Amino acid sequence: MNSTAQVRAKFLNYFKSKGHAIIASAPLVPENDPSTLFTGSGMQPMVPFLLGEKHPLGTRIADSQKCFRSQDIEEVGDNRHTTFFEMLGNWSLGDYFKKEQIPWMFEFLTGELGLDASKLFVTVFRGSPDLGISRDDEAVMLWQAAFSSKGVDAKDIDHSERDGMQGGRIFYYPEKKNWWSRAGVPEKMPVGELGGPDTEMFWDFGADRGLHESSAWKSEPCHVNCDCGRFVEIGNNVFMQYIKKESGFELLPKANVDFGGGLERMAAAVNNDPDVFRIDLFDGARTVLEAASSKKYGANEADTFAFRVVLDHVRAATFLICDGVLPSNKDQGYFVRRLIRRAVRFARRLGVSGSVVRDVSASFIDVYADAYPDLSSKRDAILSALEMEEGKFAKTVEQGLKELKRVFEKTGGFTAVDAFNLYQSYGFPLELTVEELQRSHNLTVDADVFRAEFKKHQDLSRAGSEQKFAGGLADHSAETTRLHTATHLLHQALRMVLGDHVQQKGSNITAERLRFDFSHPEKMTPEQIVKVQELVNGAIAKDFPVNFELMDTEAAKTAGAIGLFEDKYASIGGKIKVYTVGHMNGGEWFSREVCGGPHVSSTGELGTLTIQKEEAVAAGVRRIKAIVSGTITA
């Protein structure tokens, strides 16, 4: 049986023998493409060349491209969805076309991989007479000739999902299934856009491997594009041969071929097992997780779901960190953090009591070492980042459970509003709240109420940010926001070192530095400056959450807030916004201040604060100039 590494190598070697240059995978974070966070398909890095730019290595290209699809996070748990995958691809950039590509692909699948031709099925483009685009009869004839060479009769069917398979092997589908362009279906393509029909290949795992006996599918007719689990798409040939003109669609003088096939799904077909998590790439990691949980993969549906989430998410996070994406609260880093924390949660469902993410990741690094050597060279950094994030989440869980217990003991219950406050103050996920309440108290939480509270919080934040903030900020960029949040820590640290007489007298903040004026009668000593820096950077290192509450003036003062209580920019609906750096509702906190400006989500985003200068401004008023450099969690 071919290993997954052998499937990858056979593909690349096969197309190398057909005159293709083999290129390395592009990074998971697109280069020079701000329109998307991740490389989500094998075609994505090739778009400039498909649209006419000349590739430096010629007109025949092949590769195995790393891909990550953040939108599939919630889909993971079945037998075929993964967020990270490799897409095998070959391209003709104005060179060969259908009569070469279809026979080559059939030869690769049945010859190189040894797949049984009688278990392969194909879909093609039905055509659109209204748009003047004919159906792809040429592709059908090429497929029929290929199947015939293996003694397989390939009947073509104009497919209707109501009629099931109808004894067919090649199925005509409409443009929503078998057409590719960046704009989607032909009707949505703008003038000048390129597109064309495609032909997809499916592997039949057999009716006994599908879900037709379940109540959801037993009365439904089966077809290759249904979701019953019997058929899985293993590749797609896109024939980019049309250009949209004002008058309609015209054939290109030189058309392109874009093939993409999921490596993991091809390996599953070779195994003749529809569960991609049983291919050899997952063997080591699955064994690690089985040992840590004392459970067996496949023993029951709920545990198997959890196994798949942990395996997928750790693998994806490992590759993303290797490509330079560290866990954080924004952009790509947000998804890495979400993957890791979701993996930890599902590991807990399996009964894993200690740390396991690092060991699962180490197994993936070992199995991918030959194909992606940078995983080995960055091994320590990858494992350290995973371990650090898992540790942070463990603290979040510990603090959240204590707060949940405190609220329950105080009130005798736990509402959806309590659940949202727990999420807002501690980052404690709703799912963990639900699990803990169900386990300990046989209670449930109204998720709709939770979502309503979340939306209310978003609306308040938006209302506050829409007001002009005249607090000396040059703009609301990310860097300026970081420095503005740092002034809260600086203000509090000055009061702790110099005394409660310290009050803010003004500030001026740009993307490069902060300037903070405060009341104090004398020059600070070097020792005092060092102590203030240490306090600020200590708070940053704790990665405190930063959140606000709307309070009336007296409540804000009682809560220990400092600042201008009449600040009109922090006022919403007669109340003032009070930002807490740290945990609200009885948890540890460092700073609490009235403010209406933009803030980071947690102090770990700030980096290291350095005081560059301390000087006099006026009688009784001092000024500090400072910068922040680097980041801790991002």
- The reply to whether 400 falls in a domain is no
Q: Is the pLDDT of residue 68 over 50?
A: yes
Transcribe 160-187 into DSSP letters. -GGGTTTT-SEEEE-HHHHEEETTSSGG
402 lies in a domain? no
User: Is residue 473 included in any domain, yes or no?
Assistant: no
Answer with the one of 464, 490, 505 that is the final residue of a domain: 464
Under 8 Å CB-to-CB from 135, ≥6 apart: which residues? 124, 125, 126, 127, 172
Residues 497 and 432 in one domain: no
User: Does a structural domain hold residue 198?
Assistant: yes
In this structure, the dihedral spanned by the alpha carbons of residues 69, 39, 373 and 277, taken in order and rounded to 10 degrees, is: 20
Question: pTM value?
Answer: 0.70
* 516 CB-side CA count, 13 A: 27
The two tokens of residue 553 are 């003036």
Whether residue 339 is found in the same domain as residue 288: yes
The verdict on 352 and 247 lying in the same domain is no
User: Per-residue pLDDT averaged across 251-265, rounded?
Assistant: 93
Q: What angle do CA 301, 303, 306 make, to 5 degrees?
A: 110
Report pLDDT digits (tens) over 562-574: 987 655 445 455 6
- Identify which has the larger pLDDT, 235 or 474: 235
Q: How far is CA 542 from CA 201, 394, 588, 589, 633, in A?
A: 52, 13, 11, 10, 11
Q: What percent of the chain has pLDDT over 90?
A: 52
3-state SS of 39-52 is CCCCCHHHHHHHCC
**Residues 188 and 314 grouped into a single domain:** no
Confirm whether 271 is domain-assigned.
Answer: yes
How many residues does this entry show for the chain? 634
Closest CA to 357 of 305, 329, 321: 321
> Are 235 and 105 contacting, i.e. CB atoms less than 8 angstroms apart?
yes
Residues 142-166 pLDDT 10s: 999 999 999 999 999 988 766 788 8
Would the pLDDT of 40 be above 50? yes
Considering the domain architecture, whether residues 59 and 194 belong to the same structural domain is answered as yes
Top pLDDT among 353 and 88 is at: 88
Same domain (yes/no): 533, 389: no
Residues 563 and 624 in one domain: yes
DSSP 261-307: EEHHHHHHHHHT-S-GGGSGGGHHHHHHHHHHHT--TTSSHHHHHHH
Q: Which domain holds residue 529?
A: 478-629
In this prediction, residue 142 carries a pLDDT of 98
The whole-number average pLDDT for the span 128-136 is 87
For tokens 């420095």, name the residue: 483
User: Residue 353, Cα to own-chain centre: how many angstroms?
Assistant: 26
Residue 134 domain-assigned (yes or no): yes
Mean pLDDT calculated for residue range 82-94: 96
pLDDT by residue (tens digit) across 188-228?
888 888 889 999 999 999 877 766 555 566 677 788 888 78
d(CA 468, CA 114): 67
Most confident segment among 67-76, 110-119, 170-179, 468-477 = 110-119
Is 563 part of a structural domain of the chain?
yes
Burial class (CB in 10 A: 0-12, 13-18, 19+), 444: exposed
Q: What is d(CA 390, CA 394) in angstroms, rounded to the nearest whole number?
A: 6
Q: Which residue, among 398, 406, 459, 454, has the nearest Cα to 428 in the 3D structure?
A: 398
Q: Mean pLDDT throughout 506-523?
A: 88
Q: Rounded mean pLDDT of 424-434?
A: 80
Greater confidence (160 vs 324) lies with 324
Structural tokens at position 378: 């960055």
Is 405 part of any domain?
Answer: no
Q: Where is pLDDT greater, at 349 or 354? A: 349
For residue 25, the 8-state DSSP code is P
Q: How many whole angstroms from its chain centre is CA 59?
A: 33
* Residue closest to 403 by CA, chosen among 425, 379, 385, 381: 425
Average confidence (pLDDT) over 47-70:
90
Query: Residue 184: pLDDT band by 50, 70, 90 thresholds?
Result: confident
Pick the more confident residue, 131 or 290. 290
Residue partners of 189: CB distance under 8 A and separation at least 6? 181, 183, 195, 244
Query: Could you give the 3-state DSSP secondary structure of residue 231?
Result: strand
Percentage of the chain lying above the pLDDT 70 cut: 91
State the average pLDDT over residues 349-355: 88
What SS3 class is residue 248? strand
The greatest distance separating any two alpha carbons of the chain, rounded to the nearest whole angstrom, comes to 97
The amino acid present at 98, given as its one-letter code, is K
- pLDDT value at 465 more than 50: no
Choosing from 231, 249, 277, the residue where a domain stops is 277
Element (H, E) at 368: helix 357-368
Pair 303, 425 in one domain: no
pLDDT for position 467: 41
Give tens-digit pLDDT for 522-540.
999 999 999 999 999 999 9
Q: Which of 249, 277, 305 is the last residue of a domain?
A: 277
State the sign of the Cα–Cα–Cα–Cα dihedral 609, 611, 612, 618.
Answer: positive
Question: Does the structure show a pLDDT above 60 at 474?
Answer: no
As a whole number, mean pLDDT of residues 61-80 equals 91
* Band of pLDDT at residue 397, cut at 50, 70 and 90: confident
Q: Give the pLDDT confidence score for residue 476 in this predicted structure.
A: 58
* Mean pLDDT over the full length of the chain: 88
State residue 464's pLDDT score: 45
Residue 533: give its domain's CATH number.
Answer: 3.30.980.10
- Residue 456 predicted with pLDDT over 80: no
Shared-domain flag, residues 24 and 43: yes
Is 521 exposed, middle or buried, given 0-12, 13-18 or 19+ CB atoms closer than 10 A? exposed
Residues 374 and 225 in one domain: no
CA distance 580 to 586: 12
Q: Are residues 422 and 509 in the same domain?
A: no
Report residue 633's pLDDT band, with 50, 70 and 90 as the boundaries: very low
Q: What is the structure's pLDDT at 355?
A: 86
Rg of the chain, C-alpha, whole Å:
29
* CA distances in angstroms from 205 to 78, 107, 261, 268, 274, listed in the order given: 15, 20, 17, 10, 6
Residue 631: pLDDT over 50: no
- 22 pLDDT more than 50: yes
The pair of three-digit structure tokens given for residue 585, joined into one six-digit string: 């509702």
273 and 284 co-located in one domain: no
State how many domains the chain has.
Answer: 4
Among 101-105, 248-252, 452-456, the range scoring the smallest mean pLDDT is 452-456
pLDDT of residue 109: 98
Decide if pLDDT at 6 tops 80.
yes
**Per-residue pLDDT tens over the stretch 543-556:** 999 988 888 888 88
Q: What would the mean pLDDT of 1-17 be, rounded to a whole number?
A: 93
Q: Please check the confidence at residue 44 and state whether its pLDDT lies above 90.
A: no
Structure tokens at 35: 């329109």
pLDDT band at 460 (very low <50, low <70, confident <90, very high): low
Paired tokens of 343 = 């993996």
- Distance (Å, whole) CA 286 – CA 306: 11
